[in-house]
Amino acid sequence: MRVLSLFFLISLLLPALSAVSSAPPSPSTSPNATDFIRTSCDTTRYPGRCYNTLAGYSDTVRQDSALLARAAIFVSFFKTRSISLYVGNLSHESGDEPRASAAVRDCFSLLSDSVDHVCGSLRQMVVLNGSSEEMKYGMSNVQTKMSAALTNEDTCTDGFEEIGDDPPVKAEVCGRMVEVTEVTSNALALVNNFVKKMWPTTV
């Protein structure tokens, strides 16, 4: 059921984010839109990563903070889903180091939850409408879910700090996790920016 719901969500979002691709971003035909993305990304913790992953969506995002946040969550979803599948495959392999195997299993559990959190955030962004209070409540849920996803990803990486430097799985997983945590952090920052723009008094 989870797999079906993910594919349903993807099919629902693709028309709105047709520019999403694993290929490098193509040159934008809208300089104002790319400037908007660059300026927005400057407020994130990883502005270079932010701009590189979102610049290719400028014609879809235009200068809309909600669409930019949605695109960023979309990127986070695919990155988190990809690393979750990778770690899941590792968890099924027998390891010689018990602590490394335990760290992999714990990480997979955390990332599975992260996928659910980011997926739920996407659903909320797709149906973002209604009264101001309803939208504010919905965005509060998105903030909570994206924050939880980022915490899980950080906890996954922290779990490998206790197993020493020898197990090769540590470098493999932690190396891949860098991009995942950065795009999730950026997505959360852009969500927060949108919330502040819509409701300036929101903390």
Given the candidates 3.40.50.970, 1.20.120.1730, 3.40.50.1970, 1.20.140.40, the CATH classification of the domain at 30-198 is 1.20.140.40
Question: Are 48 and 186 a contacting pair, CB within 8 Å?
Answer: no
pLDDT at 21: 37
* pLDDT tens series, the chain, 203 aa: 444 445 555 554 544 444 343 333 444 446 788 999 999 999 999 999 999 999 999 988 989 999 999 999 999 999 999 999 999 999 887 566 788 889 999 999 999 999 999 999 999 998 887 788 889 999 999 999 999 999 999 999 999 887 877 678 889 999 999 999 999 999 999 999 999 999 987 55
Short-list 11, 147, 5, CA closest to 76: 147
pLDDT at 175: 94
Question: Are 163 and 100 a contacting pair, CB within 8 Å?
Answer: yes
Separation of alpha carbons 190 and 203, rounded Å: 15
Question: Are 126 and 109 a contacting pair, CB within 8 Å?
Answer: no
The CA-based dihedral angle spanning residues 141, 19, 184, 126, taken in that order and rounded to the nearest 10 degrees: 10
pLDDT at 126: 86
Separation of alpha carbons 148 and 67, rounded Å: 21
